[in-house]
Amino acid sequence: MGNPTHYFDTAGIAAAVAAGAHRAAIGGLWEEVGRLQLDFLVSRGLRPDQKFLDIGCGSLRAGVKLVRYLDAGNYYGTDINESLLMAGYDIEIRNEGLLDKLPRAQLVTDGEFDFSWCQAPFDVVLAQSVFTHLPLNHLRVCLERLQDAAAPGARFYVTIFEIADDHPTHRPCSHPGGITSYGARDPYHYRFVDMVHCCRGLPWRATRIGAWNHPRSQHMIEFVREP
């Protein structure tokens, strides 16, 4: 799993999952980063009765904790890698005794931010360690397509490797926690103004939250869906 562009290599990911590495394939730190995501969302007011979408949910590192926390049927996840969704459901959700809280159809294989299957809008959405692996236009596409699947006032939390306004984009940036990010290859870094730019002409407003105790120093951005 050394190549950070590997998430597009769905056959390679499937082979790793078949070898039992579905936790390592999404970055390891299973308990720590799963708990971090749940605690963050609850601290921001996530309630069990709200409808929640986990974009790029992988093998359900946060998903297992969120499915337990949310009312039955309120967790939805998407990922470009079907193999990760299958392992998350068939191993992690099953082992936790949570199958009856998560309809399998609510784990959707998708790499293009197509939420047209959504029948009632989401209240809270998360993309943790997803756009760190993607060029900026993916975020713009996601915001465009998510606007119709997000309730007025919905909050969309996105993590990024953040650089300062005066840090040249082309220059690599070393972050506490050991990751070096880049302007034009994975893992990507962005400025907060890039987040604001992605909202132009769309009903989203970006706010910088910044550090949230992520072990690899990803920062958090909040997008609010304006009415």
Q: Residues in the chain, how many?
A: 227
Which contiguous run of DSSP H or E holds residue 37? Answer: helix 30-43
- Which x/- pattern over 59-98 shows residues binding ligand SAM (rule: CB under 6 A)? --xx---------------xxxx--x--------------
Q: Which of residues 167-206 bind ligand SAM (CB under 6 A)?
A: none
* Single-letter code of the amino acid located at 108: V
Which of 127-135, 185-193, 201-209, 210-218 is the region at the interface with ligand SAM (rule: CB under 6 A)? 127-135
**C-alpha count within 13 angstroms, C-beta hemisphere, residue 206:** 22
* 3-class secondary-structure state, position 6: helix
Q: Which of residues 3-22 bind ligand SAM (CB under 6 A)?
A: 7
* 3-class secondary-structure state, position 73: coil
Report d(CA 31, CA 42) in Å as an integer.
16
Q: Which is nearer to ligand SAM, 152 or 177 (CB)?
A: 177
Q: Which is nearer to ligand SAM, 22 or 101 (CB)?
A: 22
Please list, in sequence order, all residues whose beta carbon lies within 8 angstroms of the beta carbon of residue 179, skipping any fewer than 6 positions away: 161, 187, 216, 217
Report d(CA 17, CA 33) in Å as an integer.
19
Please list, in sequence order, all residues whose beta carbon lies within 8 angstroms of the beta carbon of residue 126, skipping any fewer than 6 positions away: 37, 41, 52, 53, 54, 55, 62, 156, 157, 158
Report d(CA 227, CA 224) in Å as an integer.
9
Q: Which is nearer to ligand SAM, 31 or 226 (CB)?
A: 31
- Which x/- pattern over 39-58 shows residues binding ligand SAM (rule: CB under 6 A)? -----------------xxx
Q: Which is nearer to ligand SAM, 28 or 170 (CB)?
A: 28
CB of 33 to ligand SAM, least distance (A): 6
Using the rule CB under 6 A, is 128 a contact of ligand SAM?
yes
CB of 85 to ligand SAM, least distance (A): 9
Q: Which is nearer to ligand SAM, 41 or 195 (CB)?
A: 41
CB of 197 to ligand SAM, least distance (A): 20
Using the rule CB under 6 A, is 129 a contact of ligand SAM?
yes
Q: Which is nearer to ligand SAM, 84 or 206 (CB)?
A: 84
Report d(CA 114, CA 11) in Å as an integer.
22
- β partners of residue 155: 124, 224
CB of 210 to ligand SAM, least distance (A): 18
Residues that bind ligand SAM (CB under 6 A): 7, 26-27, 33, 56-58, 61-62, 78-81, 84, 111, 128-130, 133-134, 138
